[in-house]
Amino acid sequence: MFFKLDSFALMGIEAIKVAVEIHISNGMPSFTIVGLPDKSINEARDRVKASIINSGYKFPMKKIIINLSPTDLRKEGSFYDLPIALTILALSGQITSELFDCSSFIGELSLDGGIDPVKGILSMSEKAAEIKKQYFFIPKENANEAGLIKDISIIGCGSLTECIEILKNKSEINKHTHKNYIYPESDSNQYRIDFSEVKGQFRAKRAMEIAVSGMHNILLIGPPGSGKSMLAERAITIMPDLNFNESIEVTKIYSLIKRRKYGLIRSRPFRNPHHTISEIGLIGGGIYPKPGEISLAHRGILFLDEFSEFSTRHSESLRQPLENKSIVITRNNVSYTFPCSFMLILAMNPCFCGYFGDENKKCKCSIREVEKYWKKLSGPILDRIDMQIKLPRLKEEHFLENKEVENSHNIKERVSNAILMQNERYKDKEINYNSEARPDYINDWINQNQGLKKITADFSKKTLMTARGISSLIKISRTIADLEGENEIAENHMIEAFQYKISTII
């Protein structure tokens, strides 16, 4: 006797279809699961048995074999409890339904017959819609998230009995369908922090505005207490809201690592991992690859505080993701791709003691120590950071002054406009932001203007900038022009951009 139901497995950020097949035969009573299951799936035997009995059904005392196909894919997680229980009940003749063929099932059972939420539901729901399933039976608590996908009817079930009731009665199924989640208007007060809380540091604030507008990576250098972390945290408050597609991308990633009861993630992520993080924690990986901090910062900000404390392996492993905006992780001959399009903010002290170049506090480091300190920042990484900003320690008069400064809301408006301009410009191209611009675009921007060319030449002569340095200078000028709403880069923009480059730090 044979029966099967459709379910899903996660492969990186994507879900793939898995068939839960069952065969019951006479013989010594046993219950086996095959098809490369992990520990949590094997333990499903006991959970399924208990919850079937506790829901008032009979568990057949026969030889039961469950196969999870495709069988060569290593599977993990507690997703398959619900489909396994349903196949057993269906094959033993306890329930029948016309819905089995056009539905797929996911859910973890508890011993009392309840259904608990699972991870990665958004990816699965997307896949279910893709393979043209009509209904998707999932844990009730996951329904908000799964419902973000429009082309499929989500049915959230609180327990096994509830699920079976719905299955039995096809005509009333629409009553139980979860209402599609409506994308809400964002409220501007979603962050409890604001840019106006940063006192002084005008240059750094302006730099931050530009960096966010063009998604330029930025390096903040300053003594302890100069407000590096404060600025970085507040960068998130001036970023434009996520649009629906971006929100889905972000929610999908977070769904992979956390059982989420809520719907769409609307605020941009801000991740600041500690420097003791493992390489896998930062980049992603593991036996069943999970997204790392760089993917969790997708569409948001990755802030590496005390960057000099991060090991060289860490910093060098960032190079490729910064370039490609995605990371490919290969484990067990399977490659998983996680998106990681983030804005990188690095913060570090100017030297070991932290006071190099400070006006009042004496630096205790020798020149050689300072040079050694800066060696940690490798050329290739510095090359990928468009903007570098030095922050001085805040002077008392600035700290105490009570002047009106711009709040995040106003800045956000300007930033949003700049990003709109970029969207318009890159409509038919594969990039989104100025910072991703390719060399031929950059040439186009300055080719017509002889004045700009001359300034560029002057700069490079004065600061011994590399070709990459010059091109990032032009990218910054493009963003400044976008902030002003100009279609062409003017000399003013270029000359301001110069302020955000330090060719030699010491």
Partner 1 sequence: MENEEINLNILKLFYNLKIKPSDFINIYKNKKNIEDALKYFFNREKDNPKLFNENNNKSGCAGKDFNLLMQYFYKRAVFILNIAQDQYPVLLKEIYFPPPLLFCKGEKIKETGNLKIAIVGTRNCSDYGREVASHFSKELSKMGFTIVSGMAIGVDAAAHEAAIKESGRSIGVLGTGIDIKYPYENKHLFEEIIKNGSLVTEFLPGTPPLKSNFPARNRIISGISIGVIVIEAAEKSGAIVTAKSAIRENREVFAVPGNIFSDKSKGCHSLIKSGAKLVESIEDILEELGNYIKDPAYQNSIKLEMTASDKNPQYNHFNNSLLENEYKNKKNNDCAGYRNLKNFPDDDYLKIYNCLGYKEKSIEEIINTSGLDIKKVLQIMSFFQLKNIAKEKNFNNFVKINQI
442-481 residues in contact with partner 1 (CB under 8 A) are 455, 458-459, 462
182-201 residues in contact with partner 1 (CB under 8 A) are 200-201
Residue 392 binding partner 1, by CB under 8 A:
yes
Choice between 21 and 482, CB closer to partner 1: 482
Paired sense of beta strands 108-109 and 115-116, if any: antiparallel
Considering only residues 311, 320, 324, 499, which one is a binding residue for partner 1 as defined by CB under 8 A?
Answer: 499
Q: Which residues pair with 75 in a beta bridge?
A: 37
Q: How far is the CB of 303 from partner 1 (least distance, A)?
A: 21
Inter-CA distances, 43 with 50, 73, 454, Å: 11, 18, 71
Query: What track of x and - describes contact with partner 1 for positions 219 through 248 (by CB under 8 A)?
Result: ---xx-------------------------
473-478-482-483 Cα dihedral, nearest 10 degrees:
10
Q: Which residues pair with 285 in a beta bridge?
A: 290
Inter-CA distances, 226 with 198, 216, 307, 406, Å: 10, 21, 16, 19
Residue 425 binding partner 1, by CB under 8 A:
no
Tell me the C-alpha distance between 453 and 381, whole Å.
26
Q: Is 350 left (phi over 0), alpha (psi -120 to 50) or beta?
A: alpha
| Binding window for partner 1 (CB under 8 A); candidates: 46-54, 118-126, 258-266, 489-497 | 489-497
Considering only residues 318, 391, 411, 489, which one is a binding residue for partner 1 as defined by CB under 8 A?
Answer: 391
Look up residue 378 and give its amino acid.
Answer: S
- For residues 124 and 10, the answer to whether their CB atoms sit within 8 Å is yes
Considering only residues 359, 396, 424, 440, which one is a binding residue for partner 1 as defined by CB under 8 A?
Answer: 359
Tell me the C-alpha distance between 415 and 297, whole Å.
19
Residue 36 binding partner 1, by CB under 8 A:
no
Considering only residues 36, 306, 496, 503, which one is a binding residue for partner 1 as defined by CB under 8 A?
Answer: 496
Choice between 274 and 462, CB closer to partner 1: 462
The total number of residues written for the chain in this structure: 506
Considering only residues 16, 382, 431, 495, which one is a binding residue for partner 1 as defined by CB under 8 A?
Answer: 495
- H-helix segments, 275-378: 279-283, 293-296, 312-317, 319-324, 367-375
Nearest Cα residue to 209 out of 470, 408, 488, 363: 408
| Binding window for partner 1 (CB under 8 A); candidates: 68-76, 101-109, 125-133, 392-400 | 392-400
End-to-end CA separation in angstroms for the chain: 77
| Binding window for partner 1 (CB under 8 A); candidates: 122-130, 289-297, 354-362, 432-440 | 354-362
Residue 371 binding partner 1, by CB under 8 A:
yes
Nearest Cα residue to 108 out of 67, 141, 146, 155: 141
Considering only residues 96, 278, 311, 366, which one is a binding residue for partner 1 as defined by CB under 8 A?
Answer: 366
Q: How far is the CB of 221 from partner 1 (least distance, A)?
A: 8
Tell me the C-alpha distance between 287 and 398, whole Å.
51
Please count the residues of this chain forming the interface with partner 1, following the rule CB under 8 A: 31
The burial class, CB within 10 Å (0-12 / 13-18 / 19+), for 399 is exposed
DSSP element (H, E) containing 221: strand 218-221
Residue 373 binding partner 1, by CB under 8 A:
no
Considering only residues 206, 376, 384, 468, which one is a binding residue for partner 1 as defined by CB under 8 A?
Answer: 206
DSSP element (H, E) containing 235: helix 228-235
Choice between 136 and 459, CB closer to partner 1: 459
Residue 393 binding partner 1, by CB under 8 A:
yes
Choice between 105 and 500, CB closer to partner 1: 500
Residue 488 binding partner 1, by CB under 8 A:
no
Choice between 127 and 493, CB closer to partner 1: 493
Q: In the numeric block, which tokens belong to residue 42?
A: 């094997």
Residue 287 binding partner 1, by CB under 8 A:
no
- List residues near partner 1 by CB under 8 A: 200-203, 205-206, 222-223, 350, 357-359, 366-368, 371, 390-393, 395, 398, 455, 458-459, 462, 492, 495-496, 498-499
